[in-house]
Amino acid sequence: MILAAVTPFRLSTRDFADCVRSAQWNTQSIDHRDIEHSQRCVPEIEDYNLAVSSLKVKQVASADFPTRWGHFLIHGFATRASASGDGARTEEAVALVMGEVHSGSPLVRIHSQCLTGDVFGSLRCDCRQQLEMALSMIAQLGAGVLIYEQQEGRGIGLMAKLQAYALQDSGFDTVEANERLGFKADQREFQMPVAILKALDIKRVRLLSNNPDKVAALENAGIQVTERVPCEVAPTEHTEEYLRTKQEKLGHLFSSRRVQH
């Protein structure tokens, strides 16, 4: 078992948890006061990302994990950052590991939590298909790692994500909706997955992703990405605009096709 000490860190801004609670707006009513309140929360989210980057993760549990794709080991990781007001907030993630991952460059998928897609099968995104594709590819190879982190809605949280859904229903795309709520197009920084890979002593990876920001995050942290492996899902009538926005506004890469206008 790989363990790393957790170093206390105090956020200099208001409690991140207050920001999460403030996202619980009425999804049927969005006005400028909601947006202004959301905008005040953005520094807390950014500061928390920085706090995570300054901490080492602790491996808190490991267990056998049989799935319909095959047999994995599931490792639980946590990092704890002290915050003003309500105390400390814990960021948690899991790593599903199959086979030998320390020789060569194992296939690695960093997957951000998507309750609506992964659990409920939402057709608004391709998250569940990407998750299942990753598990299937790892199983076919007999080795690899899937990191599942709590970054709902590209890091804005579940309630804010539902608020963004309401804006999308009014004609905004996913980037415009996040920005309308005062967030960046993508709030994620990927520090915790980097720390998990280091805790697992994985130095080189084949990264299963269409997102060049994930490649950059790993490379900048000293983890060599020997290959970016596409993780592409065919568009549907529900995801066509969503995927086009990913491509045109977030720079996601699609090797086999270009989303059509």
Q: What is the Cβ-side half-sphere exposure of residue 199, based on CA atoms within 13 angstroms?
A: 29
pLDDT class for 81, splitting at 50, 70, 90? low
pLDDT of residue 86: 52
Of the listed ranges 30-34, 85-89, 96-100, 162-166, the one predicted with least confidence: 30-34
SS (H, E, C) the chain: CCCCCCCCCECCCCCHHHHHHHCCCCCCCCCHHHHHHHHHHHHHHHHHHHHHHCCCCEEEEEEEEEECCEEEEEEEEEEEEEECCCEEEEEEEEEEEECCCCCCCCEEEEEECCHHHHHCCCCCCCHHHHHHHHHHHHHHHCCEEEEEECCHHHHCCHHHHHHHHHHHHCCCCHHHHHHHCCCCCCCCCCHHHHHHHHHCCCCEEEEECCCHHHHHHHHHCCCEEEEEECCCCCCCCCCHHHHHHHHHHCCCCCCCCCCCC
Nearest CA among 7, 53, 50 for reference residue 196: 53
Cβ contact 19:187 at 8 Å:
no
Candidates 188, 206, 228, 244; catalytic one: 188
Indicate if 201 belongs to the active site.
Answer: no
**pLDDT tens digits, one per residue of 175-202:** 899 899 999 888 888 889 999 999 999 9
Cα separation, 82 vs 116, in Å, equals 29
pLDDT of residue 219: 94
Mean pLDDT of the chain: 79
Cβ contact 93:77 at 8 Å:
yes
Domains of the chain: 16-249 (3.40.50.10990)
pLDDT class for 124, splitting at 50, 70, 90? very high
Of the listed ranges 82-91, 165-174, 245-254, the one predicted with least confidence: 82-91
pLDDT of residue 51: 44
Candidates 186, 206, 228, 244; catalytic one: 186
**pLDDT tens digits, one per residue of 42-55:** 444 444 444 444 45
Distance from chain centroid for Cα 259: 23
Position with higher pLDDT, 240 vs 94: 94
Nearest CA among 231, 232, 225 for reference residue 206: 225
pTM: 0.75
Indicate if 31 belongs to the active site.
Answer: no
**pLDDT tens digits, one per residue of 214-233:** 999 999 999 999 999 998 88
Of the listed ranges 57-66, 81-90, 207-216, the one predicted with least confidence: 81-90
